Amino acid sequence: MTENRHDALGLSNEDVLEMYKTMLLARKIDERMWLLNRSGKIPFVISCQGQEASQVGAAFALNRDIDYVAPYYRDMGVVLTFGMTPTELMLSAFAKAEDPNSGGRQMPGHFGQKKNRILTGSSPVTTQLPHAVGVALAAKMENEKLVSFVTLGEGSSNQGDFHEGLNFAGVHKLPVITMVENNKYAISVPYDRQVASKNVSDRAIAYGMPGFTIDGNDPLAVYEAVKAARERAINGEGPTLIESVSYRLTAHSSDDDDRAYREREEVEEAKKKDSLFTFAAYLKETGVLTEEIEKALHDEVNRVINEATDYAENAPYAQPEDAMKYVYGK
Ligand SMILES: Cc1ncc(C[n+]2csc(CCOP(=O)(O)OP(=O)(O)O)c2C)c(N)n1
Ligand SMILES: [Mg+2]
């Protein structure tokens, strides 16, 4: 019998099943989006596949009633955990008027939903980081016991916003957790052509904060790291940099062909560590997930995604005049 690791983290069997279900939901929505894209129904997909464990493990460690998240485009697992629904994600994929992110005016993956404290992001990578630091500054100034959580890719950690934001957070000891989702590529560029240091987390020392590199295929490891970072932040001990290492299982986006720059063997090798399988195996070995529960989860997820797809496909587009809404203030 595999050792039960979730008990020690304060997670019940129901909690870890919920984590698994959210990871499965994210994966299956993503897979459906590729089918819809290839059949000409939606224009673009940017995948979470391979990063679900990082996203869901981290989001579960936050307080979903008070914390703020500034997710990046792959973070379907984060926004699902924070309350965005599969139907809302599909409305965004189909660019329909009811899309909560932008009313169908932005590309998919540009998440933003005020009621769930999901910050609106923009397309230049890493701009979300100073925004998240700003939320943490506001929380500190107003003495609110909450944290701000921001994610980005490892390639994006070379943007100026990363250094400026983290330095400011370190100087002012702000309650912000930065999680770099290192999926080993920035479009076609592999890690060793992007970053000179062994780990992205090595940079934390320069900003006066702790830095950790963790297994991003293990949702429990991610949960543990983010939970500890949250506690430090709430106790006034300041920010943390976490680098969660996994692998991008799909091409960069639906407009990219990754066969041009990486070997199939490498992708096949990475699939052996796919968290959807390894976490399911862990849950089975610890007696949490049975064949019966697994089948019921798959059936439910499929039903939810079918309903979300049908709803979004049949929903109305925005009115042309809505294109100018909220663009300029009055
Ligand atoms: C400032 C800026 N430069 C370039 C781009 C184009 N771009 C979009 S995603 C991307 C790759 C980012 O790689 P990484 O940060 O590792 O994230 P990943 O896509 O691998 O999750 C690039 C270069 C952009 N959106 N913004
Ligand atoms: Mg990357």
Quick check: CB of 183 below 6 Å from ligand 1? Answer: yes
Quick check: CB of 243 below 6 Å from ligand 1? Answer: no
Looking from the CA of residue 194, the nearest atom of ligand 1 is 16
Q: Is the pLDDT of residue 134 over 90?
A: yes
- The ligand minimizing its distance to the Cα of 160 is 1
Indicate which residue of 27, 117, 203, 248 is catalytic.
Answer: 248
42-78 core/surface letters (b: 16 or more CB in 10 A; e: else): beebbbbbbbbbbbbbbbbbbeeeebbbbbbbbbbbb
Residue minimizing CA distance to atom 2 of ligand 1: 124
pLDDT (tens digit per residue) in 79-132: 999 999 999 999 999 999 999 999 999 999 999 999 999 999 999 999 999 999
C-alpha 326/C-alpha 67 separation (Å) is 25
- What pLDDT was estimated at residue 330? 60
- Going by C-beta distance under 8 Å and a sequence separation of 6 or more, which residues neighbour residue 96? 104, 312, 315, 316, 317, 318
Measured from the Cβ of residue 326, the count of other Cβ atoms closer than 10 Å reads 9
Quick check: CB of 154 below 6 Å from ligand 1? Answer: yes
pLDDT (tens digit per residue) in 228-273: 999 999 999 999 999 999 999 999 999 999 999 999 999 999 999 9
* 3-class secondary structure, 109: coil
Give start and end residues of each alpha helix (H) in 48-150: 52-60, 76-81, 86-93, 128-141
- What pLDDT was estimated at residue 263? 97
**Catalytic status, residue 248:** yes
C-alpha 243/C-alpha 99 separation (Å) is 31
Region 175-203 average pLDDT: 97
**Catalytic status, residue 105:** no
- What pLDDT was estimated at residue 182? 98
The 8-class DSSP code of residue 318 comes to P
pLDDT (tens digit per residue) in 299-319: 999 999 999 999 999 999 999
- CA–centroid distance, residue 219 to ligand 2 (Å): 18
